[in-house]
Every structure is written in C-alpha cells, then in structure tokens.
Structure 1
C-alpha cells in the first residue's frame, strides 16, 4: 500500500520541481524591492516607451492572513513590470479602489489588530510605499460604514470615497481604465 502511494506521488513531485524553477524567474524591482515580483518576458508587441497609463485597480477580497493583499500587490507588479520594460515611472498613474472585506486592509494597526485577532496588517507597509510612488488609495465609504470603519481608523493617506462606485466613476472621468485583474 505504502509503495503504491509513493509510486503515485512521484509524478506530482516531478511537476513540482519545474514549477518551483519557474518561480525563480520572478524578481522584485526596479521600483518596489520588497514585493511586486515579475518575470522578464520576450514581448512580440513591446510597450512603447512613451505610453501613458491611468489604471484603477478594484479590490474586494481581503488579504490572506499575514500576507499583502494580492490586488494591492498587483499594483506594485504593474509598476515594476512596466518600468522594467522601459516605461518611465512618471507615465504610470494608478489608483486602488477598495471595498467589501478588503476594507480592513486599509486600516491602521490598532483597528486592524482589534478586528483580526491581534494580527499585524501585512498590507500597511506596501500601501505606504505605493503612496510614496504616487498611487492613490480610495476606500468605499459604504463598505467602511458597514464594517464600522471611520476616517480615523485608516492608514495615512487613504481617502474615503462616498462609495467604490463613485470612486470608479470619478476616476473614469479622469481617463482611468479599470484593470480587471
């Protein structure tokens, strides 16, 4: 029985090794060195160096415990990969609109710990770094109200919007497109 289990497990182990090797291609930087890893790609259609990006990211899923929110990290990945591809950082304008259960990821440590079993807000440092690079962060006021979050509970620089719908509508009027990932 044990031998047949091991024989069945061998193909899975063989698949795991190439997957781990592929992940070695992912590196952080050139803008964010602690998160936002991307892999180099030989592009068939290179991104023009003078491309201007105005992109809004929609975040509704909360971060996994002790991890940076995946969509918030995707914004860092977007910046890292495009700067690495030759687009000047000043041509990249991002906004992150947060609602639903992800609202807690925008709260200060005291509020976060009180509502998340004393855990640390693993997204806080990434949010601060993103803001240092011009990324605007908006919280849906309706989600905040539903979760008992006030402006005083937010991380520095996070903006309270009337709603996520409002934030997206206003960003679209400013030329932002929504990134569905």
Structure 2
C-alpha cells in the first residue's frame, strides 16, 4: 500500500507527538517502538507491526539481532539484556523512533553519525521512509521477529523501568 500525503501526515503527527511526550534514553528502542506501535494501532486504520532484528548502515552491522522472544517467556519485570534493534513497519513503511538517540548517544558510532548527517543534511529526530528508499540510503533493516500485542503491552507496562533510571 502506498500512503497519500494526508495519511502520511497523520502517521508523522503521531510519531512527533510520541517522540515529544517522552524522553526515551538511548538503547530503549523496544520501549519507544512498543508505545508508538500501540498509539498508531489505537488511532489509525493501519496495522503497525513491532519488528525486531538487525540493522546495517552502509554494509556495516550496527545492531546484531539475538532472539528476544525466549527472553520474554519468564521475564515480567523486563530488566533484560538484549542485543538487537526494534522498529515499526506499516506495509512497506519503516518508522525508527530510536535510531538517532541510539547512534548519537556515544562516540563509538562516529561513522554512522556522519552517514546519517550526510544522507539527511541534519540530525533527524527519527527515521521514517519506505524500506526500499531507506535501503538506497544505506539503511538495511533485517527483520527477524514480530512481537505480538501481548509482548508490546509488556514493554509499555514496564516503561517506568527505563524512564526513571
């Protein structure tokens, strides 16, 4: 499905509202993406999916996925250690609410920081775009797992764990 301009603006508006309402720390992609997935699903007629996987920028691996579903089985307080990345997909649209926060939170990602600035001529608050266009810009999102509403709710219920650290 291809979104028209008003549909895309609705999505962007919800992304901006969520992004401005919470001060998510770096490496909180599961929490921020869970919340935004629920907001989109509650307010728009599209199914937003929470996806976890790996991310490469310009062929270099930034986030290497390890399976998260086994970690969620017996971990209700969600103080878990996990390697990977989370984002939202609506049809072929990718919304990455946390990429900038994660990449720019330390100096260990200088090459990736420069690539983001070169591609977008600024430091964007988040990335949103069609999967193929992001891939053309060097952002390769490799989906490994789709989280269910139950798992999304679990992260939302545990937002305080990361917001109050």
TM-score normalized with structure 2 length = 0.31
Between Structure 1 and Structure 2, which shows a larger proportion of strand residues?
2
Larger Rg: 1
TM-score with structure 1 setting the length: 0.29
